[in-house]
Amino acid sequence: MTTVTQEAGAPFGAAPPSGHQDAAILTRGLTKRFKGGQVAVDALDLTVPRGSVFGFLGPNGSGKTTTIRMLLGLVAPTQGEYSVLGLPQAQALPKVGALVEGPAFYPYLSGTANLARFDAADPTAHGGTAKRRIADALERVGLSAAAGKRYRNYSLGMRQRLAIAAALLGPRELLVLDEPTNGLDPQGTREVRTLVKEIAAEGTTVFVSSHLLAEVEQMCTHAAIMRTGKLVAQGTIASLSGGLVTRIRVETPDPDDAARVLTGLGLADVAAEGRAVTAELGGHAPEQVNAALVGEGVAVRGLAVVRPSLEDVFVGLTGEGFDVDG
Ligand SMILES: Nc1ncnc2c1ncn2[C@@H]1O[C@H](COP(=O)(O)OP(=O)(O)OP(=O)(O)O)[C@@H](O)[C@H]1O
């Protein structure tokens, strides 16, 4: 790690820290204290691997937007360092597409005309290639057929896809999306989630903030969990929930017999819950547990493997529920 700026935060210099070339985003001790003393982001150490769909998860007000704004150079950190794509900021930002505050589109203009205006306002964009880049971006978000349609006639999902197209007007190695499904209807939410997966499948790293646990579980390969400005945990989705215990739940009119069989198999923490029995699955295969139950004459009416969710992880780490809507 290169020198850490203690007084004022900064992007890493020309030489990013060695050993982290695979990181699309790296922060060390990144901190933002607003005037008035509120610490919005507190000594954040984030490592976002290239190629990941990285869910930046936390309740409202936990510091996600402030972090994203620092990474994009929109607000200066108070302390700490960050690196985007392992490059100095001026070289990194043209390779980053971002959707932080949705662009204001003109309702009476088409998708194409809106993107043309948006692109023309970008001093780094190449005017000569605009037409092709706009068509490519519309194609990438699945709006080619609606390119000539007025924005006001777009569905919520189409509007958000157009906003993502605006972030994809150049070749991007990293796409940063701040709560991209906020305010969308279920259909629009599905469209955006599918699009994020498609963009990631094409090789772009996607860093997406969300206050919805289920959304991050469905869409992301990795996640970081924030709480009041602090990082609670980060890693692959599997590793985050892997520390928690997977249980098996057997529904049966013979709970006592089922409990005896599960105990006999060596399953731990066998507990009867009315007409169901649950136990830690451990290394046992559910089909073998089922075969053993049936072999012992237990009537199995239902059998489920209950895997820990990110919500369980959050509650386990913080002792609190993830108290947000959705
Ligand atoms: N410009 C500002 N001045 C003072 N405080 C701010 C400012 N911007 C954000 N904050 C505060 O910093 C904290 C983190 O806000 P931030 O917007 O980063 O959280 P968030 O996780 O993105 O939440 P949300 O999803 O609601 O935007 C909040 O308590 C917020 O009130």
CA pair distance 251, 173, nearest whole angstrom: 49
Ligand 1 in reach of 16 Cβ (< 6 A): no
CA pair distance 32, 67, nearest whole angstrom: 8
Do 230 and 261 belong together in one domain?
no
Q: Does 21 have pLDDT greater than 70?
A: no
Cα distances (Å, whole numbers) of residue 306 to 225, 233, 235, 278: 22, 22, 21, 9
**What is the 3 state secondary structure string of 168-190?**
CCCCCCEEEEECCCCCCCHHHHH
Contact 131, 167 (CB under 8 A): no
pLDDT of residue 7: 43
pTM for this one? 0.81
9 — pLDDT class (breaks 50, 70, 90): low
Q: Separation of 315 CA from ligand 1 center, angstroms? A: 22
Residue nearest to atom 3 of ligand 1 (CA): 34
CA pair distance 319, 281, nearest whole angstrom: 24
Task: List pLDDT tens digits, range 56-78.
Answer: 998 888 999 999 999 999 999 99
Residue showing tokens 């990285």: 54
Do 181 and 48 belong together in one domain?
yes
Residue nearest to atom 29 of ligand 1 (CA): 61
Residue nearest to atom 8 of ligand 1 (CA): 66
Residue nearest to atom 31 of ligand 1 (CA): 61
Do 98 and 165 belong together in one domain?
yes
Ligand 1 in reach of 66 Cβ (< 6 A): yes
pLDDT of residue 11: 67
pLDDT of residue 122: 84
CA pair distance 160, 156, nearest whole angstrom: 6
Q: What is the mean pLDDT of residues 115-143?
A: 90
Task: List pLDDT tens digits, range 266-305.
Answer: 999 999 989 999 999 888 999 999 999 999 999 999 999 8
Ligand 1 in reach of 180 Cβ (< 6 A): no
Of 187, 220, 241, at which residue does a domain stop?
Answer: 241
Residue 45 covered by a domain: yes
Of 226, 241, 256, at which residue does a domain stop?
Answer: 241
Do 259 and 212 belong together in one domain?
no
Do 214 and 99 belong together in one domain?
yes
Question: How many helices, marked H, and strands, marked E, lie in the chain?
Answer: 11, 14
Residue nearest to atom 2 of ligand 1 (CA): 34
Q: Separation of 203 CA from ligand 1 center, angstroms? A: 31
Q: Separation of 69 CA from ligand 1 center, angstroms? A: 11
Most ligand 1 atoms within 8 A of CB, residue of 32, 34, 67, 176 to mutate: 34
User: What is the Rg, in whole angstroms, of the alpha carbon atoms belonging to the chain?
Assistant: 24
pLDDT of residue 1: 29
Q: Separation of 37 CA from ligand 1 center, angstroms? A: 13
Do 193 and 120 belong together in one domain?
yes
Do 94 and 233 belong together in one domain?
yes
Domain count, the chain: 2
**Domain carrying residue 290:** 243-310
Q: What is the mean pLDDT of residues 165-184?
A: 91
Ligand 1 in reach of 40 Cβ (< 6 A): yes
